[in-house]
Structure 1
Amino acid sequence: MDWDKLRIFHAVADAGSLTHAGETLNLSQSAVSRQIRALEESLGTTLFHRHARGLILTEQGELLFDATTAMNKRLDAAVARIRDSVEEVFGDLRVTTTTGFGSLWLAKRLPLLYRRYPDLKIDLMLEEKVLDLPMREADVAIRMKEPSQADLVRLRLMTVRMRLYAVQSYLDAHGTPETMDDLAPHRLICQNTTSTQVSAGARLVHELMTHSIRSTLTVNNYFGVLQATLNGLGIGVLPDYVTEDHPQLVRVLDGVESNEVPVYLAYPEELRASRRIAAFREFILEQITEQRQRQKDGLEM
């Protein structure tokens, strides 16, 4: 099989256009077209349906595209391992985590990581979807549950609980609840229970809603919940790790909280020796250790 033709086929299938693929490959449209025709002739099949709006893969084309996609991911992994054979920590590192954890905890700590390793190029992917690490959709993940995928190195980092918080100005204006029933006249700010989130958080919100709360503000991520809470709109349901960076938050109803949510760091077995992964892993562990020490010191004061 001609690898160059497969590379061109993959670019065309990905772009859906001979012209766009040619621009990516620095080839003319006619050169790309000749290579695709030659590949189809060698396989004895048609790979694309051609029409005025572009190109659509045939069933056989879909099979080949799946294969070339997997090949590209394996090649990316090989290149990453080769680059990691040198002493320096540099290059691309694709990190995936939830919108809440990524925006409220991780992002503000990255300047220190960049100061240590200025040649890193981090692609931070914040979404609730669980990306496929063995298929190299990301290099490393921080997840709010233990990963179930095989062939992963996994490390439990810490636990999180969802709790109730408000700013003092809101409590001064509206009163501080002493019991769950006292929440009824307050505005509750939380993630919508239909949005993707950890089940422990959703269960806590469901329980709170049984207390006849008259006004709510629902947001599809914890960053929005935090901003609304800091601006005095009500009592927010937030992960406990936000309090260190936002000391103006006052905990409401000390006994009310979700079950523990485990936080895991995971990456593919094939990247076990990666210097970039090791640098990121040790940095995260260091930050968590320092946070725990600050919390302990605060309790002892």
Structure 2
Amino acid sequence: MRLLLALADAGSFRSAAVVAGVSLNTIRSKIDRLERQFGTALLRRSVEGARLTQEGHELVAIARQMAALGNTASRVQRAGAERPHSTVKITVTEGLGTFWLVPRLVEFRAAHPGVKVEINCDMATPDVLFRDVDIAVQLTKPTSPDLIVKRIGTMHLMPFAADSYLREHGTPTSVADAAEHQLVWQQADQVATDALPLFVDSGLAESMIAVQTNTSSAHYWAVAKGAGIGFLPTYARALSRSTRPLDIGVQLRRDIYVVHHPDAVRFPEVREALDWLTASFDKTKFPWFADEFIHPDEFEQRFSDSVVVNLFEGFISPQ
């Protein structure tokens, strides 16, 4: 309903996506779902944009009333008072959530035993503006000026492959070599899809992709089990030796943002969670999140800090 209202005001899917701070695919899928739920067309789509049907106009009128009531309720909610149940809701991209933040929840809970954490790992861009979540950790920068956005780190990506795959197919040393190999590809919101042309012409893409997934965990396991070459964050090497980085001259980087509504920091559990999230991407402790690209093979050699050493001891499995 909120996205339908944004679409009615903006006049086109693309403009509405920018205003709402979500991806174009997200707003399209949400509106399609809404039309299925109501069993009728809400929009007339054309090259000139999107126009509301009569049913769409009626639903938008309801949505405006809902938004007005929600804003009124937000203003009069218990300012400064603690929530009855101290809960913080965090939405994070699936890979960072599953492989990086969830293992650290024990640390947060130990420091703040009275705070319940609801963590949602999802590639879809969350609706922070309308307070569906308290905090979002995402790879796309929101465009809404009404949100607090802080860049807390950089995620570096490069091609990885399992030893089992490399023994069977050989180790590529250049982009030209990699173009002869099988690829594991992830297609999802917030994931860059512009890297494939670095390997091969678009006409050959379909024949090269052996496995395509929509989640980071499935993508990682496909690479780790030898299905093909895939882009992984460099910190994958700090968690496990089941995959090996490939030096073919291709590296990508994505900014990591923490996003929250300005009112959210009134609650102590949200402030505590924000501090914990910032510390979780501290580049002095976790160098793979620094702006500078550091090759995964150098993690142990270049950094002797006890935190880094302990991380390797705790997470790296035998080769």
TM range (shorter): 0.5 to 0.7
- Name the one with the larger strand percent: 1
Q: Secondary structure at the match of 2:142?
A: coil
Identity %: 20
Q: Find the aligned partners of 1:232 and 1:60 in 2 and give their Cα distance.
A: 53
Which residue is 2:257 aligned to?
264
Counterpart position of 2:137? 142
Give the alignment's Cα RMSD to 1 decimal: 3.2
> Paired residue for 2:222, among 213, 220, 228?
228
C-alpha separation between the residues in 2 aligned to 1:94 and 1:112? 17
Give the gaps of 5 or more residues in structure 1. 1-56
TM-score by length of 2: 0.64
More off after superposition, 91-100 vs 62-71: 62-71
Post-superposition offset of 1:293? 8.6
Runs of 4+ aligned residues of structure 1 deviating over 3 Å after TM superposition are 57-77, 211-215, 293-297
Aligned residue for 1:132?
Answer: 127
Match runs of 1:39-54 below 5 Å: none
Give a deviation string over 1:196-239, Cα, whole Å, max 9, x none.
233xx311123223295645211112211101111122211122
Alignment of 1:147-296 (within 5 A): 147-192=142-187, 195-198=188-191, 201-210=192-201, 212=204, 214-258=208-252, 260-289=253-282, 290-292=285-287
Q: Shift of the alpha carbon at 1:161?
A: 2.5
- CA 1:125 to 1:71, structure 2 compared with 1: closer, same or farther past 3 Å? farther
Tell whether the 8 Å contact from 2:165 to 2:227 is kept in structure 1 after alignment. Answer: yes
In the comparison of the two structures, how many residue pairs are matched? Answer: 236
2:184–2:212 Cα contact (<8 Å) kept: yes
- Distance between the aligned counterparts of 2:174 and 2:302, measured in 1? 28
Contact 2:150 2:257 (8 Å CA) reproduced: yes
Distance in 1 between the 2:132 and 2:71 partners? Answer: 8
| Residue of structure 1 equivalent to 2:81 | 82
Amino acid at match of 2:239: D
Query: 1:142 offset after TM fit, Å?
Result: 0.9
Displacement of 1:63: 4.4
**Aligned residue number for residue 300 of structure 1:** 302
Between stretches 97-106 and 218-227, larger displacement belongs to 97-106
Taking structure 1 as the reference length, the TM-score comes to 0.67
Are the structure 2 counterparts of residues 147 and 81 from structure 1 closer, same or farther at C-alpha, using a change threshold of 3 Å? farther
CA distance in 2, matches of 1:113, 1:149: 29
The one-letter amino acid paired with 2:279 is: E
Seen in structure 2, the aligned counterparts of structure 1 residues 105 and 209 have a Cα distance that, compared at 3 Å, is: farther
